[in-house]
Structure 1
Amino acid sequence: MNLPFRTTAIALSLLSALGVAMAQDKPVELKFAHWLPPTHSLSKTGFEPWAKSVEAASKGSIKVALFPAQQLGKAADHYDMARDGIADMTWVNPGYQAGRFPVFAAGELPFLVGKPGPGSAALDAWYRKYAANEMKDVKFCFAHLHIGTFHSRKPITEPSQVKGMKIRSSNGTNAAFMTLLGATNVQVSAPEARDALEKGVADAISFPWDSIVSFGIDKAVKFHSDMRLYASDFVWVLNRGWYDKLSAGQKKVIDDHCNNEWAAKVGAAWGDFEDGGQAKLEKAAGHTIVKLTPAQLDQWKKAAEPLYTQWVQSADKVGVNGKQALEELRKELANRKAD
């Protein structure tokens, strides 16, 4: 007769012990570096909510300190900063180091992804089995993306117009596309882009919609092409040494915040906010949204076809069946209605 009571008492005792263990976890600081301004939309929709959630779930034993605006290093160096322990966690655009992460670059292929939220979830789910090898010197947290287009000094509607232009491209795949079309690539990070455009170093930029405003680039470009030209893919990664020193409870908190659910959440929150920038620019004085006809859009898609062949070949070279991997990514995108 006393068995249920005793079983319940034991269970409560175990739960209490677990709570005490969590409460007694040694406090640690997570130095999280990124290269966006602290006022940027991703800071408000991604970094800050994630940090608060980690702190709450760890009962305050993990304190997240955000280091924005390249405080700990240049944008292109953020992957190595996590690897080397300059930061405990970083937000990385792998496309800033073209060719270093050839498998992950699939998500950058033009016109592949149409919706940032489900697209982020699809990319993250697809890439996880490759991350263990391609990003083995860090702990992979999750991947997400945004979608962008051309913003330029003059209207751009057809691929032939790009020839001879100087383009600040969003990533390595986008840069390869511009080279294919006869443009010259200007290699600067997002924080340096406005200066390049204002000084005439670049004629156009591939960028998401709202960041054109938040980075002040709307002062330098007035025409915006209404097409889903490209996606830029990002990863959140951790220093392995920092993670390995955590208690079991703290590791679980981090693992619970490094999953596909968070990839989808951040991808949707930030990606949809970025897309909303189109309406802002449409209403802004002196700005023109350049509409494309279906025939013009078909020209762009046809012009991008060689990039798909190149990606398959680059994946094959690192021991991944490129054709099969691309089919799997397309299937993941289709299943989540992200294409």
Structure 2
Amino acid sequence: MHRISDEQRRIRIGRRHLLAPSMRPESPVAVADALVALHATDAATVFLSACARLRAPEVAAVEKQLYQDVSLVRLLSMRNTLFVVSEETAPLVEASNARAVAAKERRTLLKHLTEDGNGLDEQWLAATEESVLAALTARGSATGSELSAAVPALRTRITVFPGKKQETVQGVASRVIRVLAAEGRIRRDRPRGSWTSSQFRWTASEPRAGLDTARAQTELALRWLRSYGPAAEGDLKWWTGWGLGQVRRALAGAGAEEVELDNGATAWVAPQDQGSEPAPEPWAALLPALDPSAMGWADRGFHLPAGHRAALFDRSGNIGPTVWWNGLIVGGWALRADGEPVWRLLTDVGRDASTAIEAEASRLAHWVGEVRITPRFRTPLERELTG
């Protein structure tokens, strides 16, 4: 069996994840396609992940493709998490993940409505959804608060988990909007405030034509392998949230080939992708919390020293802002209240690396400008650096 070393895996990150300067593209769509999907739970992550890889980082370029061209699409998909993908990749993600997520969201909402015991049912939900869509058609776009003002049904409150310890009273507006968005009937438009805000406006959209789930999963697995291979079954299972049977069928359908890793484990690569690649020029990167290069595998031992985890992860397993040198996570960074990037190295990487990291910090500070960024999921080191 062919072996792919940890060093080769780190070289692939630099090249395939567009982190080496010579690999940087012009377009945010190219970044999204190279990584398959950008984490979007924290609105700022999309911009930070894209601009870290762009030849000419610019907020306006990302905003244009998100909100004007709509060549980048937000989807509630893998692991019931919000991602941004290209318009070309969106049908694959919708069929392989988002469709099932949307169906579960609708079932859950209907269950809560009927358990409330006030006659709220599927017909009530359908009528409310039509009223929301009509309001968006009339307005063009609206915030959740504006929709609630325009559609009285959205101001309805229900009792969730009645008679149980976790019983609580909640409004339905956010849940109805979430279901419509999950089904692709509405989409997130420009937020209130800056690009770091998650207070999105909403606008109507057209659901995509359905693809076959199994075929979509096979194609998505193939694209993922081209970006993240070699990777184990468990890595793909974690990234997608699929069952093990779905993972194995998708790998088989993609024609994935077995390789051996440095730790002796078996992993998979895309067809005819077992060969070595030349190392790019030395590179440094400051990547945001939840960046795909840090979140792409369940087992990150080949690029993340075990001793760094306590400083770089929160209690829920979310990784914070990371400093990279040639494919290895070597520290963490943050932005202080005055906008100054500050970082700490957890690995001694030498003067050349420190100089390159400082240059990346200056590049980050230049395009971020006066915007202040606080990650949604804060880690011990990020808190310490900004404290």
Provide TM-score, normalisation by structure 2.
0.23
- Structure scoring higher RCO (CA < 8 A, sep ≥ 6) equals 1
